[in-house]
Amino acid sequence: MKRGWVWGASALFVLTTGSTIPASAGSAGEQAAAQAPQAPAVKPDQNGVRYLPNDQVQAMFAKGGPLVETDAFKVLASRRDRDGQAEVHARDTDIIYMLEGTATLVTGGQVVNGKASGPDEQRGDSITGGNSRTVSKGDVFVIPKGVPHLFKDVKAPIVYYTLKVTQQ
């Protein structure tokens, strides 16, 4: 199956060819999933294209949350108003495109006080020994599965698309 994404701040197209991928509940823990915003019901058309108009995309960026969720990938309207926790995803590679704001991204190293937060997910207080870099509008970065990462020194808000590609 081939997939393509067209990213913009005002609307989102997700193009898939081949078989349609069924929607999934995602990899967050049950408690977090119950509290987290749900992805809009976006059914693919006969060609596998999923379209979210500007008003739906902007509404999700206002609070942060999923735009599209399938078994193979998730597209998130991500928003942070403060520093985050350390995260490690056992099956998801994160591809991030920064739309606004500035923060320090720490990757690699070891998670401090890491605990399972859901299936194939770990969260912790911080990271020791990682690499730090300043990220801002226009930056793109790829965090492979299994690599600890966190945002700190967040100049609120930071707004970014996250594409999570799930390894089966």
Domain CATH code at residue 154: 2.60.120.10
Domain of residue 138, residue span: 2-166
Confidence of residue 41 (pLDDT cuts 50, 70, 90): confident
Contact between 49 and 122 under an 8 Å Cβ cutoff? The reply is: no
Per-residue pLDDT tens over the stretch 88-133: 999 999 999 999 999 999 999 999 999 999 999 999 999 999 999 9
How many domains does the structure of the chain reveal? Answer: 1
Q: Name the E strands within 18-90.
A: 50-52, 65-69, 73-80, 86-89
